[in-house]
Amino acid sequence: MTFSRSLPFIVLAVLAAGCATTPDAPSRPLRLEIGPTRIAEECFALAAGERIDYQFEATTAVDFNLHTHRGNDIITPVDVKRTRAQAGVFASPAAESYCMMWTNVGAVPAHVIGQWRRLRR
């Protein structure tokens, strides 16, 4: 087969290789109203090595964590106290279910606005 005849096959192979990666999932909005001394959670499952990108802003300081339950233990790889804004990327070391949790430690309602999305690459 000559180069000119094999060129369409080469182009198809390159295009197929480019499509092999799974695109990132669309962003999921966060719009939470958390009463005084209350919590809110957003839970999801991650595959081993899967990552999430998250960011939020709050109208008043909140405690924020990302955690998983392993039997009777709670593992908290992200734990931030009294924050009004947070952003980060978390990679799951194993296939597990996780929750992002906001705790309103104040005396007035906290409004949290942000987004998160899965990163598949």
Tens of pLDDT, residues 1-37 = 554 454 444 433 434 444 445 678 899 999 999 999 9
CB 120 within 8 A of CB 25: yes
Span 25-84, pLDDT tens digits: 899 999 999 999 999 999 999 999 999 999 999 999 999 999 999 999 999 999 999 999
Q: What is the mean pLDDT of residues 82-102?
A: 98
* The pLDDT value given to residue 93: 96
Q: How many CA atoms lie within 13 A of 120 on its CB side?
A: 9
pTM over 0.85: no
Task: For residues 100 and 77, give the distance between their C-alpha atoms in angstroms, rounded to a whole number.
Answer: 11
Bigger pLDDT: 110 vs 3: 110
pLDDT at residue number 18: 43
List the domain boundaries for the chain: 24-119
Which CATH number does the domain 24-119 belong to among 1.50.10.20, 2.60.120.680, 3.30.420.40, 1.20.910.10?
2.60.120.680
Q: Give whole-number Cα distances, 4 to 10, 13, 18, 84, 88, in Å.
A: 10, 15, 22, 60, 48
20-33 core/surface letters (b: 16 or more CB in 10 A; e: else): eeeeeeeeeebebe
